[in-house]
Amino acid sequence: HNTTTNELRSAFLEYFGENGHRIVPSASLVPQNDPTLLFTNAGMVPFKNVFTGQETRPYSRATTAQKVVRAGGKHNDLDNVGYTARHLTFFEMLGNFSFGDYFKAEAIEFAWTLLTKGYGLPKEKLLATVYSEDEEAAELWRKIAGLPEEKIIRIPTSDNFWRMGDTGPCGPCSEIFFDHGPDVWGGPPGSPEEDGDRFVEIWNLVFMQYFENPPGTRTPLPRPSIDTGMGLERFAAVMQGKRDVYDTDVLRSLVEATADALSTDPDGPLRASHRVVADHLRSSAFLIADGVLPAKDGRGYVLRRIMRRAMRHLQRLGASEPVFYRLLPALIRQMGSAYPELVQHQSLIAETMRGEEERFTALLERGMSLLEDETARVPEGGALPGAVAFKLYDTFGFPLDLTQDALREQGRTVDVDGFEGAMAEQRARARAAWVGSGDSAAETIWFDARERLGASEFLGYVSEKTDAEI
Ligand code: ATP
Ligand code: MG
Ligand code: MG
Ligand code: MG
List the residue whose alpha carbon is closest to atom 30 of ligand 1.
231
Q: What pLDDT is recorded for position 427?
A: 87
How far is the centre of ligand 1, averaged over its atoms, from the C-alpha of 231 (Å)?
6
Q: What pLDDT is recorded for position 432?
A: 82
Superfamily of the domain at 5-239: Bira Bifunctional Protein; Domain 2 (3.30.930.10)
Pocket perturbation via mutation, ligand 1, pick of 94, 234, 275 by most ligand atoms within 8 A of CB: 234
List the residue whose alpha carbon is closest to atom 4 of ligand 1.
87
Nearest to 322 by CA among 357, 359, 281: 357
Domain ranges, ordered by start, for the chain:
5-239, 248-428+454-462
The answer to whether the CB of 203 is under 6 A from ligand 1 is: yes
The answer to whether the CB of 93 is under 6 A from ligand 1 is: yes
How far is the centre of ligand 4, averaged over its atoms, from the C-alpha of 227 (Å)?
12
Q: What pLDDT is recorded for position 1?
A: 57
**ipTM of the assembly?**
0.99
Nearest to 288 by CA among 27, 44, 64, 29: 29
List the residue whose alpha carbon is closest to atom 13 of ligand 1.
229
Nearest to 335 by CA among 245, 246, 260, 254: 254
Q: What is the pTM of this model?
A: 0.91
The answer to whether the CB of 231 is under 6 A from ligand 1 is: yes
The answer to whether residues 226 and 206 touch, using CB atoms and an 8 Å cutoff, is yes
Cβ count within 10 A of residue 215: 10
How far is the centre of ligand 4, averaged over its atoms, from the C-alpha of 422 (Å)?
38
Instruction: Find the angle CA(348)-CA(352)-CA(356) to the nearest 5 degrees.
Output: 175
Structure confidence by residue, pLDDT tens digits, 291-338: 999 999 999 999 999 999 999 999 999 999 999 999 999 999 999 999
Residues (pLDDT < 50) of the chain are: 446-447, 449-470
List the residue whose alpha carbon is closest to atom 31 of ligand 1.
231
Structure confidence by residue, pLDDT tens digits, 400-448: 999 999 999 899 999 999 999 999 998 888 888 766 555 555 555 544 5
Q: Which amino acid is at 228?
A: T
Ligand at shortest distance from the CA of 77? 1
